[in-house]
Amino acid sequence: SSTASTAAFDKNPQSRERGITLDLGFSSFTVDFPEHLRESGGQQPYDSLQFTLVDCPGHASLIRTIIGGAQIIDLMILVVDVVKGIQTQTAECLLIGELTCPRMVVVLNKTDLLPSNKRQSAIEKMTKRLHKTLENTRFKDCPVIAVAAKPGGPDAADTEEPQGVPDLMELLKKQTYLPKRDPKGDLLMAVDHCFSIRGQGTVLTGTILQGSLAVNDTVEIPVLKVTKKIKSVQMFRKPVSGAMQG
């Protein structure tokens, strides 16, 4: 991605030791603006489209964090270990996705761990199993794609190129749609991180669920019973004048 995930800088010793995500992580990448969005949504004044990825934990014990991430997405990517297949957390994530998200893409990861002479047949078998599992859900016709995001595993050299990721990016472009956004109404923002920067003050990161905000606006933080003035707004480290729902 073009912006490093916050999960990569996780200071939680347990997260680093276990090699799993314990908190929500955010990253992004930019692609050329999809032509089908221009055709369906009229003349769009954009040359590029930014995907913001919300990296949710996969472990069943962290279900509350998964629910928090699911509430702020427009498209769900369900990552399945092709070797282990459908697990407890897979079913839980599917249930949450059905309640919160209209579209989904299934990614079969770690395909490099399959024997090369049986790889394609194993991928096809898992794909059929997933389609069978999804046939009675809102995701029954969702696409399934195979990748190897980190060939050789987490300890492998970084010289190994990911397999299938460019195809995944193209698939995501095809699956994009124009979600309805409404900048009106009272501001409601889901905050995922809060920290202080010397000389700058308190920084909140999150997703606007309703309304909009701009520099110099005054916002209320109900849980603290305080109102504060917005000094600046950034989107992935780039200054912007404001932000709206989504």
pTM: 0.80
Confidence of residue 21 (pLDDT cuts 50, 70, 90): low
**What is the arithmetic mean of pLDDT over 26-50?**
82
Backbone torsions φ then ψ of 172, nearest 5 degrees: -65, -40
**What is the arithmetic mean of pLDDT over 112-135?**
95
Question: Please, what are the domains in the chain?
Answer: 6-175 (3.40.50.300), 188-244 (no CATH)
Question: Does the pLDDT of residue 10 top 70, yes or no?
Answer: no
- The confidence score (pLDDT) of residue 59 equals 72
